[in-house]
Amino acid sequence: MSEERIDKELEEFRQVMEVPSTFEDGFSWTSLLGAIFVALLMVPGAIYMGLLAGVENIGPASQWVTVILFIEVAKRAQRSLKKAEIFVLFFMAGAAMGLPFNGLLWNQFFVRSDAAIATGVAAELPFWFAPSVESESYDLRTFFHIDWLPAIGLVIFGTFFGQLANMVLGYGLFRVANDVEKLPFPMAPIGAQGIMALAEDADEKNIEQSEGRWRWRVFSIGGALGLAFGAVYLLLPTLTGALTGQPITILPIPFSDFTPRTGNYLSAVATGMSWDLGNLIFGMVLPFFAMVGAFVGLLATFILNPILYEQGILSSWTPGESTVSTLYLNNVDFYFSFQIGIAIAIAVAGIGQVIRSLRGAKKKADKQASTLPQTTTSALPEGRGDIKIWVVLAVYLFVTLTYIGVSGWLIDWHRGVMIVLFFLGFVYTPLISYVTARLEGMVGQVVEVPFIREAALILSGYQGVAVWFLPIPIANYGQMTVFYKQCELTGTRFTSIWKTQVILFPIILLSSIFFMNFIWGLDEVPSAVYPFADEIWKLHAENACIMYSATLGEYSIFEEAFRVSYIAVGAIFGGILFWGLAALGAPVMLTYGVVRGLGQTMPHAVIPQFIGALIGRYYFQRKMGLKWRQYIPVVSAGFACGMGLITTVGVGITFLSKAAIPLPF
């Protein structure tokens, strides 16, 4: 098989959109108003629905809701928004949903969780993570307390430097992958297509151009689906729970758990079903073989887990366990180490793929079937808003050294930890960021070396858990390259994005901390009021304690879960899987899908996603051909918008009912 074989599935994503010849500044005060709108109305909805049902698509939904609202307002003001303005507005609305203080709700739960207390982790948690359990802030349920100032200060620090590095260093990697190496970025048009749909509607000149108006019609269909489904899935239980105290749920939230019943036939296998229609549409959006691979991996666990149970490897599981308990126990007994091994194999294979691509770049066509230039430089598009590369390098040095300085001060300059900080900041981060930028540009995939941070901290020799909560200079900036490609495809000048981020920063901080505090004040988090958080956070806490206990200096759950032999089995299996499928000519994304299915992920979403993939592939794609790949991302965007609209209505009524102060007469 040729090293430069072009994956047929990825070919469908190429040439969907062309880079425009001109670029415009999209920053305006209209965008700022959009960000404030999201901060005041959509942020509380996102927090609430994330706790209630684990709904994560309200973030993208808020973007579409905001953009559509402002387009309609602009029309009535006899003004049309440019593509660049719509993109910046879209970006602003999404960035406003960043919720930097979202972790504080988790912190106040974790420090008091049964898992943290039982493992001895709670007693070792540093003051900059959360106040001690004796703090009166827990009785008052408020973050506006002096005991929370260190934790809040660290969040502000991490948010500022994280955004600065992400925007600037992501841009630098984009310059390399896009301008120098001319990679196709097959996944970038997915987000850009929705922007184009709204731009068509905003431009009154295109009203009569029926050929170009398909995006808006398809977007409207998706929006209607989102409104209808959201009314049943989220609005009904939200309203009935707020108004009567007894929610009426037609479709179980967050999922139906079949594990206690199927455990009699499928030992140590987690089963269930998520009824969120968004999973079905998500399966249609992503490449078909990625969904097939995930389903195959899930079926493999259905076969493998009973065998491992009979062999005494999954020994902790007992019949009658729930999905959450099953996943946790299996994780401790086998999958924690097995996943490390698989991830190592796939990471090595991904890095090897990049190296082979670099070696053959001068002789053969790359994956976008175009010849790479013989020089290592390329003329930049005029007016795109580029900056000098030395600025990128200066920001990288400044951010990394600041992270190291603050972490060293918090950890009392522990020698082993300081060595780890320099390694992660100046060796691992630039390496993995470049590799990811290459893979994003070639196949739309992200590569991570698993547990590199965890392994480095364990080997540092530090004893205690404070080291796990340091602002460590480790990140993968390569993922940001896709955003800049979308920015380029929509003709948006990069400088408008950077100006937007500066204006947006204080808005994000204020809205996030205020609404986190408000929601915690309404009721304990998690509790029966928030079924998703009440069900899943316990699992997250138990899994987190496995790793945190590794540096306590005594026997821990980590020692029980970490098995070198299982890591070796996972690495060998992952290597055979990757190279075997590659030798058979299987699509690249099939391999990553199988790994996802084997990764002990929640099984409830995999089945509807696979069903969606089958419907998209064998019905819609056969009817519409390549156009289907253009249509379904727009349908998905519309669905998210519809869900966002209906969710906002429900959350607004809920907040009003819970915040109302009863009169004494």
User: Could you tell me which of 450, 215, 210, 494 has the C-alpha nearest to residue 345?
Assistant: 450
Tokens representing residue 55 in the block: 């709904």
Peptide bond into 526 cis (omega under 30): yes
State which of 91-105, 448-462, 607-621 shows the largest mean pLDDT: 607-621
Q: Which residue has the higher pLDDT, 367 or 490?
A: 490
Cβ–Cβ under 8 Å, residues 44 and 518: yes
**Residue whose entry in the numeric block shows the structure tokens 């366990």:** 321
State how far the Cα of 185 lies from the Cα of 135, in Å rounded to an integer.
50
pLDDT at residue 6, as a whole number: 43
* 462, amino acid identity: Y
Q: Which residue has the higher pLDDT, 37 or 502?
A: 502
DSSP-derived pairing of the beta strands 272-273 and 256-257: antiparallel
pLDDT at residue 460, as a whole number: 87
Question: Which run of H or E residues covers position 256?
Answer: strand 256-257
pLDDT at residue 420, as a whole number: 92
State how far the Cα of 570 lies from the Cα of 436, in Å rounded to an integer.
22
Q: Which residues pair with 272 in a beta bridge?
A: 257
Q: Which residue has the higher pLDDT, 298 or 204?
A: 298
Output the CA torsion sign for 564, 566, 567, 572: positive
Which residues, 6+ apart, have CB-to-CB distance to 397 below 8 Å? none
Judged by DSSP in three states, 314 sits in: coil
Question: Which run of H or E residues covers position 89?
Answer: helix 83-95
State how far the Cα of 345 lies from the Cα of 572, in Å rounded to an integer.
7
State how far the Cα of 276 lies from the Cα of 389, in Å rounded to an integer.
45
Cβ–Cβ under 8 Å, residues 612 and 284: yes
Question: Around Cβ 7, how many Cβ atoms within 10 Å?
Answer: 20
State how far the Cα of 619 lies from the Cα of 50, in Å rounded to an integer.
33
Q: In this structure, what are the phi and psi dihedrals at residue 464, rounded to the nearest 5 degrees?
A: 125, 175
Asked if pLDDT for residue 371 goes beyond 60, the answer is: no
pLDDT at residue 416, as a whole number: 92
Mean pLDDT value across residues 43-48? 75
Confidence of residue 107 (pLDDT cuts 50, 70, 90): very high
User: Could you tell me which of 463, 370, 428 has the C-alpha nearest to residue 184?
Assistant: 370
Q: What is the tens place of the pLDDT at every residue in 109-127?
A: 999 998 899 888 888 899 9
User: Could you tell me which of 1, 629, 601, 618 has the C-alpha nearest to residue 293?
Assistant: 601
State how far the Cα of 614 lies from the Cα of 644, in Å rounded to an integer.
26
User: Could you tell me which of 180, 167, 188 has the C-alpha nearest to residue 443?
Assistant: 188
Residue 513 DSSP one-character state: H
Cβ–Cβ under 8 Å, residues 238 and 651: yes
State how far the Cα of 283 lies from the Cα of 619, in Å rounded to an integer.
14
Q: In this structure, what are the phi and psi dihedrals at residue 580, rounded to the nearest 5 degrees?
A: -65, -45
Average pLDDT, the chain: 79
Mean pLDDT value across residues 433-449? 72
Question: Around Cβ 133, how many Cβ atoms within 10 Å?
Answer: 14
pLDDT at residue 153, as a whole number: 94
Judged by DSSP in three states, 257 sits in: strand
The residue count of the chain comes to: 665
Q: Which residue has the higher pLDDT, 275 or 653?
A: 275
Mean pLDDT value across residues 416-421? 93
Mean pLDDT value across residues 401-413? 94
Mean pLDDT value across residues 487-496? 86
Question: Around Cβ 172, how many Cβ atoms within 10 Å?
Answer: 23
Q: In this structure, what are the phi and psi dihedrals at residue 360, rounded to the nearest 5 degrees?
A: -95, 5
Cβ–Cβ under 8 Å, residues 187 and 444: yes
pLDDT at residue 23, as a whole number: 84
pLDDT at residue 472, as a whole number: 92
User: Could you tell me which of 172, 233, 396, 295 has the C-alpha nearest to residue 611?
Assistant: 295
Confidence of residue 445 (pLDDT cuts 50, 70, 90): low
User: Could you tell me which of 85, 84, 66 has the C-alpha nearest to residue 637?
Assistant: 66
Q: What is the tens place of the pLDDT at every residue in 553-611?
A: 766 677 777 788 888 988 888 888 878 877 777 776 677 677 667 755 677 888 898 99
b/e for 557-586, b at 16 or more Cβ within 10 A?
bbeebbbeebbebbbeebbebbeebbeeeb
Whole-angstrom Cα Rg for the chain: 25
Question: Which run of H or E residues covers position 272?
Answer: strand 272-273
Confidence of residue 160 (pLDDT cuts 50, 70, 90): very high
Q: Which residue has the higher pLDDT, 126 or 438?
A: 126
pLDDT at residue 190, as a whole number: 66
Cβ–Cβ under 8 Å, residues 172 and 392: yes
User: Could you tell me which of 277, 320, 259 has the C-alpha nearest to residue 53?
Assistant: 277
State how far the Cα of 32 lies from the Cα of 30, in Å rounded to an integer.
5
Peptide bond into 608 cis (omega under 30): no
Cβ–Cβ under 8 Å, residues 173 and 503: no
Question: Around Cβ 303, how many Cβ atoms within 10 Å?
Answer: 11
Tokens representing residue 91 in the block: 């970006």
Task: Report in angstroms the alpha-carbon separations of 10 from 7, 288, 435, 478, 625.
Answer: 5, 10, 19, 19, 15
Question: Which run of H or E residues covers position 12?
Answer: none
Given phi > 0 = left and psi -120 to 50 = alpha, else beta, which region is 322?
A: beta
DSSP string, 611-655: HHHHHIIIIIHHHHTTHHHHHHHHHHHHHHHHHHHHHHHHHHHHH
b/e for 260-279, b at 16 or more Cβ within 10 A?
eeebeebbbbbbbbbbbbbb
Torsion of CA 160, 162, 165, 171, to 10 degrees: -110
State how far the Cα of 589 lies from the Cα of 13, in Å rounded to an integer.
13
